[in-house]
Amino acid sequence: MSGRIEKSVARCIKCGAPLSQRNIWPIVAFPCPTCGAQLQTAQWYRRVTTATGLLCPVALALAAGVRTWRGLLIAELVGFLPSLYVFVNFFKFLVPPKLVAGLPKDASLNLRDEPKSADSRPR
């Protein structure tokens, strides 16, 4: 043992290149700097990040002694965006995200198998 703490490194699922934690965006898809493949964090990671950003202002308000619904609502409205910013940008350093293939930018739901043409629009 060398006495060094090894930092877990996120790797591209297509080319295996190591990714810097600074290049990982937990909420949106991002390209691999080496091969350009679209990557994104796993759905559970996005949900945990968002839920933590939602619950943190309420927990802090309760810890500060706020006990009314109105006070908790104000704490949530004022604190949601700052706490979401903190968790989105710094949570990835504490808990490295699992990466999965991202959707291409031109992806659509296209739930019908019909070809899209000018004549097939509903009237």
In 3-state terms, what secondary structure has residue 16? coil
Dihedral sign computed on CA atoms, order 20, 23, 28, 29: negative
**71-88 per-position pLDDT tens digit:** 999 999 999 999 988 888
Q: 77, 55 in Cβ contact below 8 A?
A: no
Predicted pLDDT of residue 75: 93
Query: 18 forms bridges with which residues in the sheet?
Result: 11
| Residue 71: exposure state from Cβ atoms within 10 A (0-12, 13-18, ≥19) | middle
* Both structure tokens of 105: 């930018």
Crossing angle of the two packed helices 43-63 and 69-94, in degrees rounded to 10: 130
- What length does the chain have? 123
Going by C-alpha positions, the residue among 91, 93, 87 that lies closest to residue 20 is 93
58: phi then psi, degrees, rounded to nearest 5: -70, -40
DSSP assignment of 44-60: HHHHHHHHHHHHHHHHH
pTM above 0.85, yes or no: no
Domain spans of the chain? 11-102
List the pLDDT tens digit at each of the 123 positions of the chain.
444 444 557 888 899 888 888 888 887 888 998 998 889 988 888 888 888 889 999 999 999 999 999 999 999 999 999 998 888 888 888 888 888 888 765 666 655 565 555 555 555
For the CA atoms of the chain, what is the radius of gyration? 20
